[in-house]
Amino acid sequence: MRKRILPVLLVALVVLGSVVMAVGTERNIVPDMNFTGDAIHLSLDDAIEIMKTKGSRAEAAALNKASDEAIAKGHKESAESISEYLRRLSEPMPVLDSEGKPVFGSDGKPLMTTAPISIVAAAEAGGATKTNEKIMKLRRDFAKEQVEANYQAELNEIEAMTIQVYYGVLQAEENLRVAKENLTNQKTIYDNTMKKYKQGTAAKVDTLTAETQVLQAEQQVALAETALKNAKMNFNLLLGYDLMQEVVITDKLVMVDEPEGTLMEFIESALDNRNEIKGAAIGAQVQEILFTGLEYRYPKTSSTYLKQEVATLQARKAAADVLVQIEMDIRARYMDLADKKRAVEVAEAYLANAKEGYRLALISYDVGMNTLTDVHEAQIASYQAALGLAKAITDYDLAVYEFKHAIGVGTTRIPL
């Protein structure tokens, strides 16, 4: 028996191995770190549109919207069911004898009565109460209006994620450009130093220092290239492309336009639209209905009454607090936008001054008024200033996009 099993297992392993190899070769694995394929040119708007309409995140958003629509429909059906049941309970019912037959009066008409207490109690135990009817109608109306807002919030979240990754590539590209510019300048310094050394106007130590700076600049370029490749792989992963697909980012790293309006207009917009406010408001309204339903049924000293009273007060406080929290959020973001805008202006001035400082340092070195160390320090300052400007613009632009989401429905879905 063993002799028969062994060949079968060997055949199975060979077949399985061939299947694994076939599956493994379906993906085009690039053997190095070069991006391949026909270049895909994408603007930020293109990338956002792709993310909102294709891929797993877009599908999840669509499924969540379908789920919300089903929940809204369920609230509608529950409200109708409770209303219909309560209507039937309120209608007069014929009096029945011991055999379950209608009892007639002297006028020949059947005697009528209201629903027995046992039936009313059973209905209430099953949730068919005026309180639940009010709650289900409230949830029905809320859900009907909130489906689109929830969907928009999820699209906003997808958009925010796409912008973050897109800007990761933009900043990495700018950092690489700056690093290459720094390398070019360091090589120029090295070439000039070698000329001076051959002419006898520069010391050997200066040539060694210049050479070291070139090596460091080359290392900075290599690190910037690695950072860019990582950013591009993250971008490809997010958009569902092959990991090493060549993608060309067509937007440039420049300051985007900030939203138009006053601070009060921004606050009012957020208070009118943010999902967090709507969620807290519906929660408070539900607790109010539950509390009102207990006022005439339980003593005010009972545990049931006191628990619901506390729950209602907490819901009221949450609904009031979220208004203040959203206002504070908008005010904080508004100030942050102003700070980041000033940071860009300072970074631009710092870069302009650093470049001019480098130019003057070169001139002074050529005429023997300063040292090579001064030149290198001036160039490093210029290099760091350029990196600082790229970061400042990135931070500002991301803050603008986040602010636009914050004065709308936001990026948070709320349960229906």
Kindly indicate the confidence band of residue 13, based on its pLDDT and cuts at 50, 70 and 90: very low
Q: How many CB atoms lie within 10 A of CB 391?
A: 16
Residues 284-327: tens digit of each pLDDT: 999 999 898 887 778 888 998 999 999 999 999 999 999 999 99
pLDDT higher than 50, residue 332: yes
**Alpha-carbon span 409 to 411, nearest angstrom:** 7
Residue 20 has a pLDDT of: 37
pLDDT higher than 90, residue 153: yes
Residues 124-139: tens digit of each pLDDT: 555 567 888 888 899 9
Q: What pTM does this model have? A: 0.82
Residues 74-123: tens digit of each pLDDT: 988 888 888 776 677 666 667 666 767 776 767 777 766 665 555 555 55
Residue 131 has a pLDDT of: 83
Residues 400-410: tens digit of each pLDDT: 999 999 999 99
Q: What mean pLDDT comes out for the span 272-295?
A: 92
Q: What mean pLDDT comes out for the span 361-387?
A: 92
Kindly indicate the confidence band of residue 331, based on its pLDDT and cuts at 50, 70 and 90: very high
What residue segments make up the domains of the chain, in order of their start?
153-416
Residue 91 has a pLDDT of: 65
Kindly indicate the confidence band of residue 380, based on its pLDDT and cuts at 50, 70 and 90: very high
Residue 5 has a pLDDT of: 39
Has domain 153-416 been given CATH number 1.20.1600.10?
yes
Dihedral class, residue 112 (left if φ above 0, else alpha if ψ from -120 to 50, else beta): beta
Residue 396 has a pLDDT of: 98
Residue 71 has a pLDDT of: 92
Task: Find out whether 251 and 235 touch, Cβ atoms under 8 Å.
Answer: no
Residue 1 has a pLDDT of: 42
Residue 374 has a pLDDT of: 92
Averaged pLDDT score across all residues of the chain: 87
pLDDT higher than 50, residue 336: yes
Looking at per-residue confidence, does 67 or 120 come out higher?
A: 67
Residues 209-266: tens digit of each pLDDT: 999 999 999 999 999 999 999 999 999 999 999 999 999 999 999 999 999 999 999 9
Task: Find out whether 277 and 271 touch, Cβ atoms under 8 Å.
Answer: yes
Residue 109 has a pLDDT of: 73
Residues 24-65: tens digit of each pLDDT: 445 667 778 899 999 999 999 999 999 999 888 899 999 999
Residues 193-203: tens digit of each pLDDT: 999 899 888 89
pLDDT higher than 50, residue 358: yes
Residues paired with residue 247 on neighbouring β-strands, in sequence order: 40
